Amino acid sequence: MKTYWLGLFSAIVTLPLAVAAFFRLGLGDIQADAPPPAWENRIMTAAVHRSVDKRAGDLPAASAADEDSLVRGGKLYMLGCAGCHGELGKPVKEDLATYPRIPQLPGKGTQYSQPQIYWVVKHGIRMTAMSAYGRFYSEQDLWSIAAFLHQIKNLPATTESKILATTNGAAH
């Protein structure tokens, strides 16, 4: 029984010390232009998604967005978000210089729900390039952006045309 407790104690102490030493000695690969190992990608993706899910869980369920809300959200997206996340009607750009990779939303959409998108746009995600925009947009604007992004892969052609006509390639 004594060896059991000694082994358990050793594992509890040794493993965290080994991980801390690994990073403290600079052995962790941190470059942004190299793909991360699969285990890191799985852990961090799951951690971000679980955190967003937990924090957005108390938000009200989103109602179906009308065309005016989608157009409003699309205009805000084209003026403020498309520079990083991709423009409507343009080929998807593959950003190879950042990690985590910046999602190209027009081509790939998002797996987040509308309340989760609202939360991400409002609060951002730490240690990524996704800043918090809650102080720059009204609540109505945030929900319009969320509605637009939730449907970005399935926008009615008339809605996309209205957005593109009024923004006229505003993203740079």
Give the other-Cβ count within 10 Å of 103's Cβ.
18
- Please, what is the end-to-end C-alpha distance for the chain in angstroms? 67
Give 118-154 pLDDT, tens digit per residue.
999 999 999 888 999 999 999 999 999 999 999 999 9
pLDDT tier at 1 (50, 70, 90 boundaries)? confident
Give the pLDDT of residue 2: 82
Q: Are 150 and 110 in contact (CB under 8 A)?
A: yes
Global pTM value: 0.81
Domain 46-167 has CATH 3.90.79.10: no
